[in-house]
Amino acid sequence: MEKPVELGKLLADLAKFSRLVYEMRLTAGPGGNTSARLPGSRVMHLKPSGLSFAELGPEDFVAVDIYTMKKVGGRLKPSSELALHAACYRNREDVNAVFHAHPAASIALGASGQNLDRPMYPDHVVYLGKVSFVPYVAPTTRELAEKVGRCAKRSNCVLLQNHGTVALGSSVKEAFYRTELMEESAKIALWSKIPGKARALSDEDVKRIEGLRSEAYRKKVLRK
């Protein structure tokens, strides 16, 4: 049973960070979708179909069972990507928020057949980790949901070719910042190709960054 106070805060946070996705131009028009759940719940609260992030209020999110994928609350129709969100939650008990956006640089990078698999700066290592890549699959399909669900078992971030990004988090804030940092990493990857060959962080660099106590603390803050 979801506690009203906890659910109210969750939906307020989800509406707040969903609007930021739009304000920071991480998607355009009514594109993209976000969801969140209370820890351990089988009910996710999902962006409705057809609404822009700019229009969303806490009362607009639609409650959907992640196993049956049936609507269990809310007045609007759930996003057509509900299967993608449900697959992420079913495959990761520690995930409490999923953000799917359409950021321009990330789409451009993926369309060229490239992934974010070579970190260029420390925040990529700390917050994104291994970014999975899904070759183009039609949006809203069961095939896409299954492929993203499999990626979710090993990654918190997924780049969808010619489509966008998926970011998972233990909190709404963490999923949002991963979305933002994926786009930042995509911009850096694209810009670095202008002057010529760029230096990516080596495996040794990555291991050292992962072991820094200062970075462990910053990651902990995002999970709250």
Whether 81 is catalytic is yes
Contact between residue 132 and residue 147 where contact means Cβ atoms under 8 Å apart: no
Contacts 24+ apart (CB under 8 A), 132-137: 132/157, 132/158, 132/159, 133/158, 133/159, 133/161, 134/158, 134/159, 134/160, 134/161, 135/161, 136/160, 136/161, 136/162, 136/163, 137/163
CB-based contacts of 158, cutoff 8 Å, min separation 6? 131, 132, 133, 134, 148, 151, 152, 165, 166, 167
Q: 207, 107, 120, 85: which is closest to 159 by C-alpha?
A: 107
Instruction: Kindly name the residue from 23, 55, 59, 81 that is annotated as catalytic.
Output: 81
Token pair of 217 as six digits: 């603390």
Token pair of 49 as six digits: 């179909």
Token pair of 75 as six digits: 């007045």
Q: 171, 175, 153: which is closest to 91 by C-alpha?
A: 153
Q: What is the DSSP letter of 108?
A: H
Q: Mind telling me the catalytic residues?
A: 81
